[in-house]
Amino acid sequence: MKAATSVFAGLGAYTPEKVLTNADFEKLLETSDTWIRERTGISERHIARRDETTAMMAAEASKAALKEAGFGPEDLDTIICATATPDRLLPSTACDLQALLGATNAKAFDIQAACSGWIYGLVMGDSLIQSGASERVLVLGAEKLTSIMDWTDRTTAVLFGDGAGAAVLTKSDGTRGIVSSYLKSDGTLAELLWRPAGGTVCPPNEQGQLEGRGYYIKMAGREVFKNAVRSMADAASKALDKAGITSEQVDLLVPHQANLRIIEATANHANIPMDRVYVNVDRYGNTSSASIPIALDEARRAGRLKPGMTVLLVTFGAGFTWGSMVVKW
């Protein structure tokens, strides 16, 4: 295996207290617990309070990651926040987070790669460390997806949840950390999973209101499903090849948690049995960029992720974007 470049000095996650079950959705929409569980594997998801912002959730995850790393907020020189649900379009959620944390010595910026955002952010952070531009990088995946969900659309509303996950990256001595990564996108398929309004193409009107339902997530589920399976299989093999290892050497696969059937298909293509795959989509739904760090943090607490393990991360999201990473934990 190749030498590692940046190490995870700390990891943290946060999910809101309120839980919405499939039974709750049965009261809101024409759907059923059985349909949702059979098609997606989701049983419940965490929902942010109305006054709880993406940056506030990100701050909670960041504090846990900083504590583990043994750093104060002022020790950070870089904050990268991956989010598809920023608190405002201007300025970045990373700057809001910087202010909430008091990370006075950091440069802060957002990246947008939808559900793949955290892996994209890790690759950016790792590159900054390798180039010498940064030494201590906080990478967030943070989302308040319920703020852009169409609660009248049963084909999307039941899928998503809110939450945040954070990692502090520092330079590795080569033995632990990020070993390889792979990123890819295909912008020609953007309209299969998107939020059409709110930007320059369809800006708010003079009263600051958005017309119609274009503000909400729209998705062609079946097409997204097929692309997700194909792309995640591709990504898994690319990161393994770049690391110089085979799937037999992977101790734990932690995929983006969008749908249990997508996870099973990805594991199957990668030739990794399900007892070496971490799944928590049943309890959180799809938290987009936050899903992998929330899963990693939980896997650690559950004793499924231990130092020395070889971990494969694989993701897919709107754009389309996809990617993967091999980490020596």
Ligand X SMILES: CC(C)(COP(=O)(O)OP(=O)(O)OC[C@H]1O[C@@H](n2cnc3c(N)ncnc32)[C@H](O)[C@@H]1OP(=O)(O)O)[C@@H](O)C(=O)NCCC(=O)NCCS
Which residues, 27 to 66, sit near ligand X by CB under 6 A?
31, 35-36, 39-40
Which spans in 244-314 are helix H? 260-270, 281-284, 291-301
Tokens at residue 109, please?
A: 């910026």
Binding segment toward ligand X, per CB under 6 A, in 2-10, 49-57, 95-103, 256-264: 256-264
Closest separation between CB of residue 279 and ligand X, Å?
14
Give the span between the Cα atoms of 146 and 91, in whole angstroms. 21
Closest separation between CB of residue 145 and ligand X, Å?
10
The closest of 316, 329, 287 to 167, measured between CA atoms, is: 329
Q: What is the DSSP letter of 248?
A: G
Of positions 221, 230, 269, 282, contacts ligand X by CB under 6 A: 221
Closest separation between CB of residue 221 and ligand X, Å?
3
Binding segment toward ligand X, per CB under 6 A, in 118-126, 139-147, 200-208, 222-230: 222-230
Give the span between the Cα atoms of 235 and 105, in whole angstroms. 35
Task: Report the b/e string of 35-57 with b at 16+ CB within 10 A.
Answer: ebeeebbbbbbbbbeeebbbbbb
Closest separation between CB of residue 158 and ligand X, Å?
5
Which residues, 76 to 115, sit near ligand X by CB under 6 A?
115
Closest separation between CB of residue 45 and ligand X, Å?
13
Q: Is 259 in the site for ligand X (CB under 6 A)?
A: yes
* Marked catalytic residue, from 22, 81, 256, 280: 256
Of positions 20, 84, 158, 313, contacts ligand X by CB under 6 A: 158
Q: Residue 297 in 3-state DSSP?
A: helix
286 an active-site residue? yes
The closest of 83, 144, 92, 86 to 115, measured between CA atoms, is: 83
256 an active-site residue? yes
70, with CB counted inside 10 A (0-12, 13-18, 19+), is exposed
Nearer to ligand X, 146 or 286 (CB): 286
Nearer to ligand X, 6 or 287 (CB): 287
Residue 187 phi/psi, 5-degree rounding, is -70, -10
Residue carrying structure tokens 């990651």: 65
8 A C-beta contact, residue 323 and residue 178: no
Nearer to ligand X, 15 or 291 (CB): 291
Nearer to ligand X, 156 or 180 (CB): 156
Task: Convert residues 307-326 into a mask of x (bound to ligand X by CB under 6 A) and - (unbound).
Answer: ---------xx---------
* Marked catalytic residue, from 115, 227, 259, 280: 115
Residue nearest to ligand X (CB): 221
For the beta carbon of residue 309, count every other beta carbon within 10 angstroms: 15
Q: Is 189 in the site for ligand X (CB under 6 A)?
A: no
Q: Which residues pair with 171 in a beta bridge?
A: 6
Q: What is the DSSP letter of 286?
A: B
Q: Is 286 in the site for ligand X (CB under 6 A)?
A: yes
115 an active-site residue? yes
8 A C-beta contact, residue 82 and residue 120: yes
User: Which residues are tagged catalytic?
Assistant: 115, 256, 286
* Residues making contact with ligand X (CB under 6 A): 31, 35-36, 39-40, 115, 154-155, 158, 219, 221-222, 224-225, 228, 258-259, 262, 286, 316-317
